[in-house]
Amino acid sequence: MQKPYFSKDYHQRSQEVLNTALDTASAYRAWRSFDPGRDAPVDERYAALPLLTKKDMRDHFPQGLVPGNRSVAEGLELGEIEYVQTNGTTSEKVTNLWNQSWWNASEAGSWKLNAHTARLDHSRREAQLASALSVGFLSHDNLPMKSRLLNGRFLFLNEKATAMEWGDFHYVRMASELSEFKPAILEANPSLLARLCWWALDNHIDLYSPQVVLITYEFPSQLHLQCIRRVMKAPVVSSYGTTEAGYVFMQCEHGTFHQNTEFCRVDFMPLKERHGGAALGRIAVTAFHNPWTSLIRLDVGDMVRLDNTAACACGRREGLRVSAIEGRVIDATLSLTGCLVTTGQVDDVLSAVHGLRDYELIQRTPENYFLKIVAERETRAQIGACRQALQFLYGQDAVIEIDFCKDIVPAASGKYRRTYAEFPIDLTGC
């Protein structure tokens, strides 16, 4: 596999943000003993350090990760920062010092990595379709369009926690508002946009297509992307990032994910050979240019698969190139031989089953699996195809129960877990 190229500026940014964190952010005092010294190569310095966990962030909030002599109280008073909490399970929730200008700059940096987004004007209208637990205005009532507008430029199409709360009224309203608002950009959770697109297909309705559809917020199933591409005439581009670290990877016009090297460092930690080898691994992210948070080697909890081609057809050279976002570590399952199976691997085989719309795979025991599937039209052939696909991944003796259902229930965060195990899996040695 070809070693990625990084510029001198990238290494300098890595060095500067690390020095600032170790020198001035109290949360990293204990890390100083791990540092081999400033004369050591920067990659060696990073590799010697621990990972920053979300528990660490909670334990040192609010002042511990602030660089320099900045005061959180003064930043709040001046309006430079605000408190923003991520959603999810208790272990995943983190309250962040949100700096909007840094976030906007990180987004702009990522947009340069795709030919379609690079041409967009950041002042153009944008529609958002996601759980209101993530962005927008959460309400049990049906809010009028004017109550879901922000600054006249952002329209939040959904005010509900999950799509389970949608009825025909909401689908009709979303289709109507897209036509009326005419956004240049539609940024969407793929599972929610896919549900709107399925509704449009079932009801023979044409949806307004923006200049670009940006997919973010959760793992993008190929089933969802296939449906979105059937309905939307615009390029569909996937973006990967986190609330804490900003925009990390952006999919180029040829489908490869490129690292946003201007705004983050990514340390790739390959899994052992039996679990995927050198190309599959976890990532730790270090944020650049954030004046209010020193984020060093944050364990974001996700796995990626490196692109093993010599070069990308788009011509971009710098940074890690990723062929796929493989899903969260906590959503991994195990084969009968104890090998790790990622959400991405499950998605690859199930997305090839004709007529499938959605799924959820639960590993109940080391030998037993339960698959829920949603289909356009339910057939016995789909049951057989799903079982064969999963036995290919998990082993021929895997016991696989399969049931059809009308829809999949999301997690408490409003997002979907495509795969997970109901028993503890120790992945520390992977």
Predicted confidence (pLDDT) per residue in 374-421, tens digit: 999 999 999 999 999 999 999 999 999 999 999 999 988 888 999 999
> Mean of the pLDDT values across residues 2-14?
93
Residue 40: the pLDDT is 98
For residue 127, the SS3 value is strand
pLDDT digits (tens, 9 = 90+) for 48-96: 999 999 999 999 999 999 999 899 999 999 999 999 988 765 567 899 9
Tell whether the model's pLDDT for residue 255 goes beyond 70: yes
| Residue whose C-alpha is closest to residue 365's, from 342, 388, 405, 336 | 336
Strand-pair category, 368-375 with 399-404: parallel
Residue 258: the pLDDT is 98
Write out the DSSP string of 211-249.
SEEEE-SS---HHHHHHHHHH--S-EEEEEEETTTEEEE
For residue 30, give the DSSP letter: G
CA distance 163 to 217: 14
Cα atoms found within 13 Å of the Cα of residue 223, Cβ hemisphere only: 26
Tell whether the model's pLDDT for residue 219 goes beyond 70: yes
Which amino acid would we find at residue 294? S
> Mean of the pLDDT values across residues 272-291?
92
pLDDT digits (tens, 9 = 90+) for 86-122: 876 556 789 999 999 999 999 999 999 999 999 998 7
Q: How many Cβ atoms are within 10 Å of 253's Cβ, its own excluded?
A: 16
Residue 90: the pLDDT is 55
Query: Taking a C-beta distance cutoff of 8 angstroms, is the pair 213, 232 a contact?
Result: yes
CA distance 320 to 96: 26
Residue 86: the pLDDT is 85
Preceding amide of 4 cis, omega within 30: no
Residue in the block written with tokens 């020193």: 294
Tell whether the model's pLDDT for residue 357 goes beyond 80: yes
Write out the DSSP string of 330-371.
GG-EE-TTS-EE-HHHHHHHHTTSTTEEEEEEEE-SSSEEEE
CA distance 278 to 23: 34
CA distance 147 to 145: 5
Residue 389: the pLDDT is 97
Residue 89: the pLDDT is 58
> Mean of the pLDDT values across residues 364-380?
97
Q: Return the ∠ at Cα 88 (arms to 27 and 331), rounded to 5°.
A: 100
CA distance 287 to 297: 9
What is the token pair recorded at 10? Answer: 């990238």
Residues 6+ apart with CB under 8 A from 110: 117, 239, 241, 247, 249, 250, 260, 263
CA distance 228 to 207: 11
Residue 419: the pLDDT is 97
Q: Is 350 left (phi over 0), alpha (psi -120 to 50) or beta?
A: alpha
Which amino acid would we find at residue 345? Q
The rounded percent of the chain whose pLDDT value lies above 70 is 98
pLDDT digits (tens, 9 = 90+) for 189-200: 999 999 999 999
**Domain residue limits, the chain:** 8-124+184-329, 333-421
Residues 6+ apart with CB under 8 A from 140: none
| Residue whose C-alpha is closest to residue 264's, from 2, 6, 1, 3 | 6
> Mean of the pLDDT values across residues 15-23?
98
| Residue whose C-alpha is closest to residue 340's, from 349, 330, 328, 332 | 332
Q: Is 204 left (phi over 0), alpha (psi -120 to 50) or beta?
A: left
Average pLDDT, the chain: 95
Residue 123: the pLDDT is 78
Pick 430 or 72 by higher pLDDT: 72
Q: Which CATH architecture has domain 333-421?
A: 2-Layer Sandwich (3.30)
Q: Which CATH architecture has domain 8-124+184-329?
A: 3-Layer(aba) Sandwich (3.40)
CA distance 334 to 274: 12
Which amino acid would we find at residue 213? V
pLDDT digits (tens, 9 = 90+) for 118-169: 999 877 899 999 999 999 999 999 999 999 999 999 999 999 999 999 999 9
CA distance 317 to 369: 42
Least confident span in 115-124, 293-302, 327-336: 115-124
Strand-pair category, 236-242 with 212-215: parallel
